[in-house]
Amino acid sequence: MEDMSTVVVKRLKEVVVGRREFEQQMEIIGMIRHDNVAELKAYYYSKDDKPAVITVKEASSRCSTETEECMIEYL
């Protein structure tokens, strides 16, 4: 990938739909943009394999020793 993002390939094993419906749903999912939702980069449809490529946001934690509370920040 040209932006050097970390990605995950998720195999959608339990999906039992036709190509057209699968592609329509992937297009809808691909339009979602939110800080708490991984971005869909690519997908592929075949009878036996339906992988989806999503970006992974790296998390870093900040812990306050005074209050013992932690926050997770997504980079």
- Residue scoring higher pLDDT (1 or 21): 21
| Residue-level pLDDT at 75 | 39
34 inside domain: yes
Do the domain assignments include residue 2? no
Examine the pLDDT at 63 and tell me if it is beyond 80: no
Residue 37 lies in a domain: yes
Please tell me the predicted confidence (pLDDT) of residue 1.
Answer: 47
Overall pTM > 0.75? no
DSSP 14-55: T----HHHHHHHHHHHHH---TTSPPEEEE---SS--EEEEE
| CATH number (domain holding residue 36) | 3.30.200.20
CA distance 10 to 18: 18
Residue 1 domain-assigned (yes or no): no
Query: How deeply is 7 buried, as exposed, middle or buried, from its count of CB atoms within 10 A (0-12, 13-18, 19+)?
Result: middle
pLDDT of residue 40: 94
Instruction: Identify the pLDDT of residue 52.
Output: 94
* Structural domain total, the chain: 1
Question: Residue 68: CB partners within 8 Å, gap ≥ 6?
Answer: none
Q: Tokens for 24?
A: 């329509």
Instruction: Choose between 43 and 1: higher pLDDT.
Output: 43
